[in-house]
């Protein structure tokens, strides 16, 4: 890991802050009750292959009798990861990043059910493949950084964003998202969460609009995801594709990921879009500047 590389440093600082935020969110009163099991852990087992359902169910049985103690352990661990990643010492930072990889992978497996990607109904609109996946992946990428140099094409962190957009398009190809109920469900589900009235009204309006023109909306989403990925790959030195992608991530975060469900009292993290926005920022900082004067 190169501490002198601005994109790497920005990504590291952002990851550290995100882990600290996750630790603080884990302190919400609802996390110390069975609501955490019923709202967060049990839904992750729904629709999964038998082996993953069994693993998640086993973890629930392990945690439930000692829920308060386990939650304090989670809080302490996530705060520790954040502090270590932000620590000035390179050796300490690497320890934090390794912890981020291991804990992120465990949370992704058990807490997020592999982002629901094995259920056949996963969608980036609600966060697939999962924020913990990106915590682990980006931490691993930071650990593998050598000189901090990038090539002539899209910066390595931009490749994560572009690849995620392609994955988002592929997930939207599931037949359920060409139906009114399927395409509206991310927005309608968000609207059901506890939140300000104005947010619920906006989400209800988006859900209704999506349900009215299900096929058109889903095809448009797929096209936008693919076109932005291609634009990032073809014009990595220009600012426009980064700006438009950032706008898309903001819209998805607000209208489909319910702004991380911060108002619900059961939010465990800001969700996937902000993590990808962080990777996008790092990619923008590391873009090949000699391409500046090309066309958009």
154-169 pLDDT, tens per residue?
Answer: 788 999 999 999 999 9
Neighbours of 238 (CB within 10 A): 18
Range scoring the smallest mean pLDDT among 5-9, 43-47, 143-147: 143-147
DSSP of 30-72? GGGSTHHIIIIIGGGGTT--HHHHHHHHHHHHHHGGGHHHHHH
Distance (Å, whole) CA 50 – CA 52: 6
Residue 295 has pLDDT above 50, yes or no: no
**Do residues 44 and 108 touch, judged by C-beta distance below 8 A?**
no
Record the tokens describing residue 205, joined without a space: 């309006």
Tell me the C-alpha distance between 244 and 231, whole Å: 10
| Residue 81 to residue 265: CA distance in whole angstroms | 23
In whole angstroms, give the CA distance from residue 166 to residue 225: 6
pTM given for the model: 0.91
Q: What dihedral do alpha carbons 68, 70, 75, 78 form, nearest 10°? A: -170
What is the Cα–Cα distance from 28 to 54, expressed in whole angstroms? 28
Question: What pLDDT does residue 150 have?
Answer: 47
The gap from C-alpha 53 to its chain's centroid, in whole angstroms, comes to 22
Give the number of other CB atoms < 10 A from CB of residue 58: 11
Report percent pLDDT > 90 for the chain: 74
Residue 255 CA to residue 258 CA, distance in Å, equals 6
- 176-187, pLDDT tens digit by residue? 999 999 999 988
So what's the pLDDT on residue 189? 81
Nearest-angstrom CA–CA distance, 47 and 199: 29
Could you tell me which residues come within 8 angstroms of residue 206 by beta carbon, excluding any fewer than 6 positions away?
Answer: 187, 255
Please report the pLDDT score of residue 155 as a whole number.
84
Q: How confident is the prediction for the chain on average, in pLDDT?
A: 90
| Of 162, 158, 165, the residue nearest 279 (C-alpha) | 158
- Name which residue leads in pLDDT, 149 or 261: 261
Interval 97-126: pLDDT, tens: 999 999 999 999 999 999 999 998 999 999
DSSP string across 85-148 = HHSSSHHHHHHHHHHHHHHHHHIIIIISTGGGTTTT---GGGTTT-HHHHHHHHHHHHHT-SS-
């Amino acid at each position: 890991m190169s501490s002198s590389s601005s994109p790497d440093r920005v990504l590291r600082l952002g990851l550290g802050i995100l882990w600290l935020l996750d630790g603080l969110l884990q302190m919400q009163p609802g996390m110390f009750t069975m609501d955490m099991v019923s709202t967060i852990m049990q839904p992750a087992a729904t629709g999964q292959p038998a082996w993953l359902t069994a693993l998640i169910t086993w973890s629930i049985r392990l945690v439930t009798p000692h829920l308060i103690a386990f939650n304090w352990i989670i809080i302490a661990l996530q705060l520790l990861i954040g502090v270590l990643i932000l620590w000035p010492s390179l050796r300490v930072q690497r320890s934090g990043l390794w912890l981020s990889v291991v804990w992120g992978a465990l949370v992704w497996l058990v807490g997020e059910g592999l982002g629901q990607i094995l259920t056949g109904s996963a969608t980036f609109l609600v966060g697939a493949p999962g924020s913990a996946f990106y915590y682990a992946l980006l931490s691993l990428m930071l650990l593998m950084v050598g000189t901090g140099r990038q090539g002539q094409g899209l910066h390595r962190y931009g490749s994560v964003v572009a690849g995620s957009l392609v994955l988002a398009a592929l997930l939207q190809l599931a037949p359920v998202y060409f139906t009114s109920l399927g395409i509206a469900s991310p927005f309608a589900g968000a609207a059901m969460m506890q939140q300000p009235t104005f947010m619920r009204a906006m989400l209800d309006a988006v859900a209704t609009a999506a349900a009215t023109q299900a096929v058109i909306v889903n095809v448009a989403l797929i096209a936008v995801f693919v076109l932005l990925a291609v634009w990032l790959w073809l014009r990595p030195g220009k600012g426009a594709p980064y700006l438009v992608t950032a706008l898309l991530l903001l819209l998805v975060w607000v209208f489909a990921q319910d702004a991380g469900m911060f108002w619900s009292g059961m939010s465990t993290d800001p969700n996937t879009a902000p993590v990808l926005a962080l990777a996008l920022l790092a990619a923008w900082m590391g873009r090949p500047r000699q391409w500046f004067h090309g066309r958009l």
